[in-house]
Amino acid sequence: MTVKTRLFVDQPLAEGNRVSLTREQAHYLFGVMRMAVGGAVALFNGRDGEWHGDIVEAGKRGGVLECAAQMRPLHMPPDLWLCFAPIKKTRTDFIVEKATEMGAAKLCPVQTDFTNSERIKQERLQAHALEAAEQCGATYVPEVTALQKLGTLLDRWPTERQLMFCDEAELGAATSLARATRGPWAILIGPEGGFSPAERARLHALEQSHVVSLGPRILRADTAAVAALTLWQSALGDWTT
């Protein structure tokens, strides 16, 4: 039996476990999707893989599903952070959505010298990551961290984590990750105004930094995020064997 509807639940999943639905989840399944008792939903929680869940109770304000069998084990994405400066609301949402689809393990909003947005709604962005995971078939939901200053992030930078620094000042320069090795990585995308001279100097001096160009044209920040993730995944991620 093919199960088309997927749902994230923050509850343990195992054979025979019963999962209680929130009011919002019940409205989605029984009001929007018109499902009923006897129907099946694919369940995942970011820890226990994907499970076949049978609807055993259905109501307007709640419902219960029972785990029947695991359909897929947990598949972790590469150990990759996407660090990005928040931009306009819908375009930041786009970055979170696409980064989830493309296999980032953690999303780290950073405030740079030229960042226009000084705050984010972390819970809303986390909800976007969750929805993207439901849609793309992922069994893992990346964490969206709180906004922090770029300088603070770099002060605490892990020595073992390599950094792909997408520098717009390197426009058109040769880009290669051919000599890079797999392991913990991060990608850094700047704001619409680019990085300041001081930030650029510090990033170039960082021992773990790999400075790359994203082509001969200046990309919008949301486009740059997708391009950078594609470049990294094709060279070092789980797109390759």
The CATH number that applies at residue 128 is 3.40.1280.10
d(C-alpha 128, C-alpha 121), whole Å: 11
pLDDT at 26 over 90: yes
Task: Give the tens place of pLDDT for each residue, 172-184.
Answer: 555 667 678 899 9
Q: Same structural domain for residues 222 and 106?
A: yes
Identify whether the C-beta of residue 115 lies closer than 8 Å to the C-beta of residue 191. Answer: yes
The answer to the question of residue 101 being in a domain is: yes
Of the residues 18, 42, 72, the one at which a domain ends:
72
Q: Same structural domain for residues 113 and 189?
A: yes
Q: Same structural domain for residues 205 and 105?
A: yes
Pairing of strands 106-111, 148-149: parallel
pLDDT at 217 over 80: yes
Instruction: Give 37 or 241, the one with higher predicted confidence.
Output: 37
User: Coil, helix or strand for 175?
Assistant: coil
What is the pLDDT at residue 173?
57
Residue 155 CB contacts under 8 Å (≥ 6 apart), including other chains? none
What is the pLDDT at residue 174?
55
Q: Same structural domain for residues 120 and 195?
A: yes
Q: Same structural domain for residues 86 and 203?
A: yes
The answer to the question of residue 193 being in a domain is: yes
User: Coil, helix or strand for 218?
Assistant: coil
| pLDDT tier, 121 (very low <50, low <70, confident <90, very high otherwise) | very high
E strand residue ranges, the chain = 6-8, 18-20, 40-44, 50-58, 63-72, 80-84, 106-111, 143-144, 148-149, 162-166, 185-189, 209-212
Task: Give the tens place of pLDDT for each residue, 44-79.
Answer: 999 999 999 999 999 989 999 999 999 999 999 999
The answer to the question of residue 241 being in a domain is: no
Residue 32 carries which DSSP code?
A: I
**Domain range for residue 135?**
80-236
Q: Same structural domain for residues 46 and 140?
A: no
Q: Which pTM value belongs to this model? A: 0.91
Of the residues 72, 93, 111, the one at which a domain ends:
72
Q: Same structural domain for residues 26 and 117?
A: no
The CATH number that applies at residue 68 is 2.40.240.20
The answer to the question of residue 1 being in a domain is: no
Of the residues 25, 51, 72, the one at which a domain ends:
72
What is the pLDDT at residue 175?
61
Q: Same structural domain for residues 121 and 215?
A: yes
Helices (H), 102-161: 122-136, 150-155
d(C-alpha 234, C-alpha 222), whole Å: 19
pLDDT at 139 over 80: yes
For the chain, what is the domain count?
A: 2
Q: Same structural domain for residues 88 and 68?
A: no
